[in-house]
Structure 1
């Protein structure tokens, strides 16, 4: 099979298409002929050798859609050890879900991993309700644009943060009531003015100064859910400050959902149901051939894209 492989850690130029053996499924795994693979920021960190270093040579890619060889069914799967940028994958059955006929491949791929993060950040940790004033950072990004739609569907008033007018327009088109420049020097004040009052729930994937400003802007009893650190700057939270402001900080890691197979499957089914009804519509930010994985990573890192990036592994160039 063909795959996009890295043999070292560093820049996007490391990706090269190579012929490698098909993966051999271990216990509890299936063979899937991949049609599309997703590009996620976690793959960028792995390519750089940050946080975790996969054994080399490595095939990255954490989510795929395709057909299961055993029965020909369309499936979506999460690959916790990578392997998605290839024509064949061997995901564990516990991380593999059937795709309803009403949901196209690209929508299934786009709403699964990012949708799970958006859903559980909003509902499981954020405990969103219709009275909330919600801020979503990277509101036109892979998770953010789904979180905007889910928050709007829950009845909340939603402010999306984005770095360009085009991305802010996209967030408005997807349901955000207002959109704010993510580079505003006084971000907390800007979002409070846009919402008409201090936010009660913030979803943050950026960290650093953005996290600090939005945490400080929270209304009493508000909460911030951190699910990423795209800015590569970690934050320290003072418990005394939380007590004084009566606010809360939560962290989300998708693996905790995957540890509970029933929760994972029920959450995926809910997202596919909403996608099938047209309530949740994933925006596709780019579609690349197998030889274009490096370009997809470069585009993701540049913050030039909006929505989910896909790799069509059936196309070489």
Structure 2
């Protein structure tokens, strides 16, 4: 399938209710559940996650129809998503008018209770989930948002959103083909390390871009065609000299000067997938490069789901999620299966040493500093 501009943003992080009024008689639950639990919420918007996030202890909710209650074991750290959530910007603008809103978007844990109508999951089952309120000891979410896994692990968290993003963007939206030249920025990051592996599995020629020698060596161990440390090498010069035919697909999550060096190397018919722009996030301050595409800042390209076709049939795609939900589900099944078969590595970073709901803001600051390798994950309990 070729890349398309007719796509819309899939909100995997829509806020879930913190409680339900479903009658307890409809719920199957584990024994010895606590009466209360701790969760991370914000009661206003502000400049940063740490400024507004606070721990509160509230009564344990019951899952409603088609919902499950999950005892969270691990939560994924998505610094960009959570930053814009607490700032009330872009997709999270409604948060400015809310008294309280939950935090977190991805996790793994054990099903502690199931509501009426749930037949796909059972109490005691390990799952990975995409839902709001993952920064909590327990969370209620729709059963359909959960993926059964062998173990509630940090790797399951990484696969549940970051790997699926890479698969959906490359394989569905961009229509990745064998033999194409695929460049991935932030290649040692939470979604980038999946993108390079999936492109490699598809028979592509993979170029990885990273910002340190430690990251470069970790990526080289995957056997990629080329790994570039853009802080030590002239990125634009390397690409022009070594890939004069251009780049067929760019999986781009950095923005700024890195993106500026890559854009001229996009081949005719090439597709640039804008999966983020971390060098221009608010934590970088006013000196961020501020990339612009067709007169539009990258923030608007990304959050607005815009798509531009440039000269030579080149496409810049700000909405990397396909509108076909069934295709996204296929991608999810595929990445979990590849991981089970040992064909797809899930790199997780817990080197920050933080644990528990109260230390999530510190883990987010760690992720935003950019030194991590793989998906930053925090144990909840």
> What TM-score, normalized by structure 2, do the two folds share?
0.73
Q: Check conservation: 1:4, 1:15, Cα contact below 8 A.
A: yes
Alpha-carbon offset, residue 27 of structure 1: 4.2
| Residue deviations 1:231-275 (CA, integer Å, cap 9, x gap) | 33453238xx95533322223354x56x72x33332211111000
Q: Check conservation: 1:178, 1:195, Cα contact below 8 A.
A: no
Q: Check conservation: 2:248, 2:266, Cα contact below 8 A.
A: yes
Structure 2, unmatched stretches of 5+, are: 1-36, 115-121, 281-289, 296-307
What does residue range 185-200 of structure 1 map to in structure 2 within 5 Å? 187-195=235-243, 197-200=245-248
Does residue 10 of structure 1 match 2:47?
yes
Alpha-carbon offset, residue 204 of structure 1: 0.7
Greater displacement, 141-150 / 288-297: 288-297
Q: Structure 1 218/264 Cα, relative in aligned 2: closer, same or farther at 3 Å?
A: closer
What does residue range 97-176 of structure 1 map to in structure 2 within 5 Å? 97-99=147-149, 101=150, 105-176=153-224
Q: Structure 1 234/91 Cα, relative in aligned 2: closer, same or farther at 3 Å?
A: farther
Q: Which position in structure 1 is the counterpart of 2:101?
A: 58
Which of 344, 352, 361 aligns to 1:280? It is: 344
Q: Which position in structure 2 is the counterpart of 1:289?
A: 355
Determine helix, strand or coil for the equivalent of 2:196.
helix
CA RMSD of aligned residues (A): 2.5
| Residue deviations 1:58-90 (CA, integer Å, cap 9, x gap) | 3311011112223221111111xx201101111
| Residue deviations 1:259-297 (CA, integer Å, cap 9, x gap) | 72x333322111110000111111111263122211111
Question: Greater CA radius of gyration, 1 or 2?
Answer: 2
Does residue 204 of structure 1 match 2:252?
yes
Q: Which position in structure 2 is the counterpart of 1:178?
A: 226
| Residue deviations 1:158-212 (CA, integer Å, cap 9, x gap) | 1111111111112222343221133478533323435574221111112344333
Determine helix, strand or coil for the equivalent of 1:169.
helix
Structure 1, unmatched stretches of 5+, are: none
Q: Which position in structure 1 is the counterpart of 2:271?
A: 223
Determine helix, strand or coil for the equivalent of 1:188.
helix
Q: Check conservation: 1:162, 1:182, Cα contact below 8 A.
A: yes
Q: Distance in 2 between matches of 1:56 and 1:171?
A: 44
Does residue 267 of structure 1 match 2:305?
no
Q: Which position in structure 2 is the counterpart of 1:236?
A: 293
Q: Structure 1 197/253 Cα, relative in aligned 2: closer, same or farther at 3 Å?
A: closer
Q: Structure 1 205/23 Cα, relative in aligned 2: closer, same or farther at 3 Å?
A: farther
Which of 95, 112, 120 aligns to 2:145? It is: 95
Q: Check conservation: 1:180, 1:194, Cα contact below 8 A.
A: no
What does residue range 11-30 of structure 1 map to in structure 2 within 5 Å? 11=48, 12-30=50-68
Q: Distance in 1 between matches of 2:188 and 2:331?
A: 22
Q: Distance in 2 between matches of 1:157 and 1:196?
A: 14
Q: Distance in 2 between matches of 1:157 and 1:88?
A: 43
Q: Distance in 2 between matches of 1:234 and 1:7?
A: 32
> What TM-score, normalized by structure 1, do the two folds share?
0.86
Determine helix, strand or coil for the equivalent of 1:31.
strand
